Amino acid sequence: AQSVAQPEDQVNVAEGNPLTVKCTYSVSGNPYLFWYVQYPNRGLQFLLKYITGDNLVKGSYGFEAEFNKSQTSFHLKKPSALVSDSALYFCAVSWRGGYQKVTFGTGTKLQVIP
Amino acid sequence: DTGVSQDPRHKITKRGQNVTFRCDPISEHNRLYWYRQTLGQGPEFLTYFQNEAQLEKSRLLSDRFSAERPKGSFSTLEIQRTEQGDSAMYLCASSLTGGLDQPQHFGDGTRLSIL
């Protein structure tokens, strides 16, 4: 089985401050990890992924994420938040050899305060 | 790359009616997925296609739900005898063949409201 947890329903951060959105996962093998962003009444947009290699992954719009195998985490980060980053963020996991599907977390609402 | 297109964007229907949604994936993408998303939740896997073959269906997908991808291009999702609990956003996504390491490209969804 595979699962992903986003422990925070909402994260508030002041504009210009660094942000972190947390994600932990559980899979039977080596994970494929993804972050997506969703704006109101829109579909999900891909931000970044970890498949293998360097634990620090850089993605779109200045976002990055750090894979930590020992803590089974894949937290999303950005050095300086923008008001336009306010949206719903989803972490997702799959793994080679697992079920042919991706499992999404319940989402974290990011609110960047001007 | 024109993106994934879903039609209609909104559907309002009475309980007991049948509804059909259409998804046009990115043209070179072989894999096509259907998800259901309710308020406050992440997308919930329903089914997926590799070309025209439906390779997996969620056990959550009741017999009232059926999906097709007849020529390996567009796909349809039909819900028969709709129920109140079917109210949700239905998302379609596509990806390149190559495995689950490929990111999925999502359409903007069809929002279904059951009266």
pLDDT digits (tens, 9 = 90+) for B3-37: 999 999 999 999 999 999 999 999 989 999 999 99
Distance between CA atoms of residues A72 and A56, nearest Å:
14
Average pLDDT, rounded, for chain B? 92
How far does A108 lie from chain B, in Å, by closest CA?
Answer: 9
Confirm or reject contact between A100 and chain B (CB < 8 A).
yes
Q: What percent of chain A has pLDDT over 70?
A: 96
- Mean pLDDT, all residues of chain A: 93
Give the one of A100, A101, A106 whose C-beta lies nearest to B41's C-beta: A106
Q: How confident is the model at residue A98 (pLDDT cuts 50, 70, 90)?
A: low
Q: State residue A101's pLDDT score.
A: 77
**Chain A residues near residue B101 by CB distance under 8 angstroms:** 32, 49, 51, 94, 96
Mean pLDDT of A46-66: 94
Distance from CA of B86 to the nearest CA of A (A): 18
Contact criterion met (CB below 8 Å) for B76 and B22: yes
Given a cut of 90, whether residue A107 has pLDDT beyond it is yes
